[in-house]
Amino acid sequence: MAATVVQLNLGHCDTGADARIRLGQNVLDAEIKARLTPATLGPALAQLKYLPGPAVLVAPYVTPPMAERLKALDVPFIDAAGNAFLHMGETFVFVTGRKPARVPIKARTLRVFRATGLRIVFALLCVPELANAPYREVAEKAGVALGSVNVAFNELTRLGFLQKTKARGRVLEQRQRLVDTWVDAYARELRPRLNPRRFRVDRLDWWKDEDLARLDLWLGGEPAAAVLTRYLRPQVVTLYGGAGFADLARRIRPVKDEHGNFEVLEPFWRFEVTQPVPGHHLTPPLLVYADLLSTAEERNLETAAMIRERYLG
């Protein structure tokens, strides 16, 4: 079944599809991903959910394990090698195992969406007034070198995410599209650099009894989402922190386990986080949202949608 592009989205709408394609008699919204990996699957699935009509995921190449995962999730996809999963009415197509004719060219990532730039974008999304702050203040709050801010601001301006106005100075534009772009790149570029460590603990609700603010530790992921939504029952605890972890570890006694139910990462921001729920020490909601999507688990995607609606609008 041949696919024909009938419309490309060149307007960069916040909730618009990347393209519309025709498959037989069906016209589908398309979410196009230059790279589809386990780390970026969750953000891709979340973006598919926001498309208004029937949608399909498009990528240069979908590996057999990823094809099986998408099929199990009932997510339609096509790739440039001829692999596909489509289930529309009486039409059912599942092709996997076809190799690309040549090795796909690795997409070049702009500096603003690499590790250092992502720290800057994170600070801007969490503290919007920083867009109009001196570069030195932005660098301090993002924890980066001063010269990186100029590069990031120039690229954000060129991409249409940052605009300079007479009345308000620099302001962020297309916020929702920037959130999507940041979340996708965070899982791929920044999160693996935060020294992630995995452990197993006997009690998953230990965090309810700890003063994390005193320890300079930040609760993220599923337990933070549970606090924000009162909906999710955490199965994995995510914590961001440094020196205070040793004090905590003496009490909860985590055991190293690469598949464990407790993960610890290094914090990467230097700004004060306003707590939406008093009495807790949570990472910013944007990071909670990103960590939920990185799991690509249905229960977390549903909770992530709640967080986006309530806290990231």
Q: Which one has a higher pLDDT value, 217 or 55?
A: 217
Domains within the chain, CATH numbers bracketed: 3-95 (no CATH), 111-191 (1.10.10.10), 194-311 (3.30.460)
DSSP code for 31: E
The structure tokens listed for 181 are: 């772009």
Rounded Cα distance between 166 and 79, Å, is 45
Q: Which of 13-17, 50-54, 201-205, 247-251 has the lowest mean pLDDT?
A: 13-17
Rounded Cα distance between 265 and 191, Å, is 8
| Phi, psi angle pair for 135, to nearest 5° | -55, -35
Rounded Cα distance between 138 and 159, Å, is 19
- Burial class of residue 28 (count of CB atoms within 10 Å of its CB; 0-12, 13-18, 19+): buried
Angle between helices 175-185 and 115-126 (to 10 degrees): 140
Rounded Cα distance between 46 and 40, Å, is 10
Q: What's the pLDDT tens digit per position in 68-127?
A: 999 988 899 999 889 999 887 777 889 998 988 765 555 567 899 999 999 999 999 999
State yes or no: pLDDT of 14 exceeds 80: no
pLDDT at 46: 87
pLDDT at 281: 96
Q: What's the pLDDT tens digit per position in 237-283?
A: 999 998 899 999 999 999 999 999 999 999 999 999 999 999 999 99
**pLDDT confidence bin for 16, thresholds 50/70/90:** low
| Phi, psi angle pair for 221, to nearest 5° | 55, -135
- How many other C-beta atoms are found inside a 10 Å radius of the C-beta of residue 154? 13
Q: What's the pLDDT tens digit per position in 128-186?
A: 999 999 999 999 999 999 999 999 999 999 999 999 888 889 999 999 999 999 999 99
Say if residues 43 and 36 touch (Cβ distance below 8 Å): no
State yes or no: pLDDT of 6 exceeds 50: no
**pLDDT confidence bin for 15, thresholds 50/70/90:** very low
**pLDDT confidence bin for 12, thresholds 50/70/90:** very low
Rounded Cα distance between 214 and 243, Å, is 11
pLDDT at 104: 53
